Amino acid sequence: SACAALPRPLGLVPTMGALHAGHLSLLAVAGEECASVAASIFVNPTQFGPGEDFERYPRDEARDLRLLEEAGAALAFAPDASEMYSPGASTAVHVGGPLTSRFEGASRPGHFDGVATVVAKLLGIVRPDHLFLGQKDAQQLAVVRRMVADLDIDVEVVSVPTMREPDGLAMSSRNAYLDAAERRGAARLYRALQRGVAVARVPKSTVHVLQATEADLARPEDDPAPRLEYVALVDADTFEPAAEPRRGHLLAAAARLGAVRLIDNIIV
**C-beta closer to ligand PAF: residue 173 or 206:** 173
- Angle at CA 72, nearest 5°, toward 67 and 76? 65
Beta carbon of residue 221, minimum distance to ligand PAF (angstroms, whole number): 30
List b or e across 125-136, with b for residues whose CB sees 16 or more CB atoms inside 10 angstroms: ebbbbbbbbbbb
Beta carbon of residue 122, minimum distance to ligand PAF (angstroms, whole number): 7
Residue choice 25, 36, 44, 265 for contact with ligand PAF (CB under 6 A): 44
**C-beta closer to ligand PAF: residue 15 or 206:** 15
**C-beta closer to ligand PAF: residue 21 or 207:** 21
Kindly write down the DSSP assignment for every residue of 81-122, as one continuous string: HHHHS-TT--------SHHHHSTHHHHSTTHHHHHHHHHHHH
- Binding segment for ligand PAF among 14-22, 61-69, 70-78, 211-219 (CB under 6 A)? 14-22
155 sits near ligand PAF (criterion: CB under 6 A): no
**C-beta closer to ligand PAF: residue 116 or 266:** 116
Q: What is the DSSP letter of 3?
A: T
Residue choice 64, 104, 113, 137 for contact with ligand PAF (CB under 6 A): 137
Backbone angles phi, psi at 267, to 5 degrees: -85, 125
Q: Has 208 been annotated as catalytic?
A: no
- Binding segment for ligand PAF among 2-10, 87-95, 115-123, 161-169 (CB under 6 A)? 115-123
Beta carbon of residue 115, minimum distance to ligand PAF (angstroms, whole number): 5
**C-beta closer to ligand PAF: residue 102 or 121:** 121
Q: Give Dmax (Cα) for the chain.
A: 58
How many C-beta neighbours within 10 Å does residue 248 have? 11
Cα of 150 vs its chain's centroid, Å: 20
Q: Measured between alpha carbons, how far is 250 from 245 in angstroms, rounded to an integer?
A: 9
Q: Measured between alpha carbons, how far is 6 from 59 in angstroms, rounded to an integer?
A: 27
Contact set with ligand PAF (CB under 6 A): 14-16, 44, 47, 115, 118-119, 137, 140
Which sequence positions are flagged as catalytic? 23
